[in-house]
Chain A
């Protein structure tokens, strides 16, 4: 439902987005990841028609965003970065305005606003000026505005930024509930969010896609993928380390201090092989005093750090 081809945006000499190709279909929740300044927001601004691309094209539900703008924008719900809203209006007035702009008048207007309010739990603050609301409520006003017309395409720039864990949970539940019927793009810094709600993760860096796959596929690229961690008494550590190294599939064993005279040992596999069975059998056979024993699925932050660049390095490079 969203087709992005060769999307490029230059600000002066700087290329904020440098040729992005993506297709997002119905039922997909695409997590858009990347360091600050990687081009996530700029890409979203072009997909929604706020910025004109320097090159490339975007089509939303078959409508080109540059030539058939209004039709494309009708099918998009968009939560811009920071969830901007008219601060002097109350959520009720603001949502009624959005509904009116989207062509809902009278009873339909009221029904749309009520439905969006119910989904985002806004009733307690419906008649307070938006300027006086907490960050969590403001964000949900933005969310309510985006989903009000039940759009087939939903684009959200950091929808859970600034929310507490309870609010994050309810927003994620909301996204998950809508996922089957829509094509959704969510940008986020929170890697756990990708694992929680996304069916697909795209990492961009310096305006390019550097990784594209399911969260599990990305996790498989982590050094920790299928590694096994054991917590054992400190005096047994050396002995157990030696034993672990005898397993053919073990590449290295790393040691980290644990709590109360214990040590954490992590055995990394060769080529992502499964270790847990071998290690488990060995621990049982040799009667190690193991307090904890678990296999790691992989660490997304590790993958993220490995394939993206640091902002200072990027800025230096851009200047050079």
Chain B
């Protein structure tokens, strides 16, 4: 664990050393507001809860999180710092985990900065704050899932654009795998078990279960194991590149 900390610290500081953090946070907050208030008709709904707000999270993450993840490894490869990083006496898993945690902490900050909307609903009415807290936790876990996928894909290339586009596509598939768009493709021929398995991979299914106000352990395990799986993929990809 000792070796994770310096990696985390450097990576996290990098976000704030460049305009990246500020640009990202501003756009994230602006987009959240725009979707919730204009497209989601937050006021007209006349209900003091954040269902509308959280409903847009998967779709915003779909584009914004790969934008964070794309540089994680691709940039290290492009600038040559990969060689420096890989020859420092740090185990590979610690580097992978440290970088991931830094990016995750950063998205956590962006998410936490949406707190004014929580203040707003509490001012307007008396929402179930337990549900809101659960939803925030669910949203944070989901962001981690997107991020782990994006990080693993970033490790495969030194081209950030490729990393971004491929990540968006893979994240999209994970988001909608419970929707008819994907399931209809399998419905005619695949066994029910397979269809249910595919559906169970959906971010939407697990996330909406959490935003309904119940933090089911299964949903938490789903996101945590998805993160673990993709961090493992990340490690394997880097190790394979080493063997060249």
A74 within 8 A of B: yes
What string of 1s and 0s marks CB contacts (under 8 Å) between A46-67 and chain B? 0011111000000000000000
**B1-24 interface with A by 8 A CB criterion:** 2-3, 5-7, 9-10, 13-14, 17-18
A87 within 8 A of B: yes
Q: Which of A71, A84, A100, A145 makes the CB contact (< 8 A) with B9?
A: A100
In the bound complex, CA of A79 to CA of B50 (Å): 53
Contacts A52-B242, A84-B80 hold; do A97 and B17 have CB atoms under 8 A apart?
Answer: no
B244 proximity list for chain A (CB < 8 A)? 9, 11, 51-52
B81–A50 touching, CB < 8 Å = no
B90–A101 touching, CB < 8 Å = yes
With A98-B88, A101-B88 already in contact, 11 other A-B pairs whose C-beta atoms are closer than 8 Å: A11-B244, A50-B86, A50-B87, A51-B242, A52-B243, A74-B89, A80-B80, A80-B83, A87-B79, A102-B89, A103-B2
Q: Which residue of A lies closest to B84 (CB)?
A: A84
In the bound complex, CA of A33 to CA of B77 (Å): 26
In the bound complex, CA of A48 to CA of B244 (Å): 15
In the bound complex, CA of A52 to CA of B14 (Å): 29
What string of 1s and 0s marks CB contacts (under 8 Å) between A101-121 and chain B? 111000000000000000000
User: Shortest beta-carbon distance, B1 to chain A, in Å?
Assistant: 13
User: Shortest beta-carbon distance, B11 to chain A, in Å?
Assistant: 10
B6–A73 touching, CB < 8 Å = no
The 7 closest A-B pairs by CB, nearest first: A84-B80, A100-B6, A73-B89, A80-B83, A74-B89, A48-B87, A88-B17
In the bound complex, CA of A45 to CA of B83 (Å): 8
A86–B14 touching, CB < 8 Å = yes
A76–B81 touching, CB < 8 Å = no
Q: Which residue of B lies closest to A53 (CB)?
A: B243
What are 5 A-B interface contacts by the 8 Å CB criterion?
Answer: A45-B83, A50-B86, A81-B80, A86-B10, A88-B18
B14 proximity list for chain A (CB < 8 A)? 86, 88-89
In the bound complex, CA of A85 to CA of B83 (Å): 10
User: Shortest beta-carbon distance, A264 to chain B, in Å?
Assistant: 46
Contacts A51-B244, A52-B243, A101-B88 hold; do A89 and B17 have CB atoms under 8 A apart?
Answer: yes
User: Shortest beta-carbon distance, B241 to chain A, in Å?
Assistant: 9
B84–A80 touching, CB < 8 Å = yes
Q: Which residue of A lies closest to B15 (CB)?
A: A88
**A residues at B contact (CB < 8 Å):** 9, 11, 45, 48-52, 70-71, 73-74, 76, 78, 80-82, 84-89, 93, 97-98, 100-103, 145
In the bound complex, CA of A145 to CA of B90 (Å): 15
B80 proximity list for chain A (CB < 8 A)? 80-82, 84
A76 proximity list for chain B (CB < 8 A)? 87
In the bound complex, CA of A50 to CA of B95 (Å): 14
User: Shortest beta-carbon distance, B103 to chain A, in Å?
Assistant: 16
A11 proximity list for chain B (CB < 8 A)? 244
Q: Which of A52, A86, A93 makes the CB contact (< 8 A) with B81?
A: A86
B87–A70 touching, CB < 8 Å = no
Contacts A86-B14, A100-B6, A101-B6 hold; do A49 and B84 have CB atoms under 8 A apart?
Answer: no
Contacts A50-B242, A52-B242, A86-B10 hold; do A73 and B81 have CB atoms under 8 A apart?
Answer: no
A49–B86 touching, CB < 8 Å = yes
In the bound complex, CA of A74 to CA of B79 (Å): 23
In the bound complex, CA of A126 to CA of B86 (Å): 25
B125 within 8 A of A: no
In the bound complex, CA of A76 to CA of B14 (Å): 26
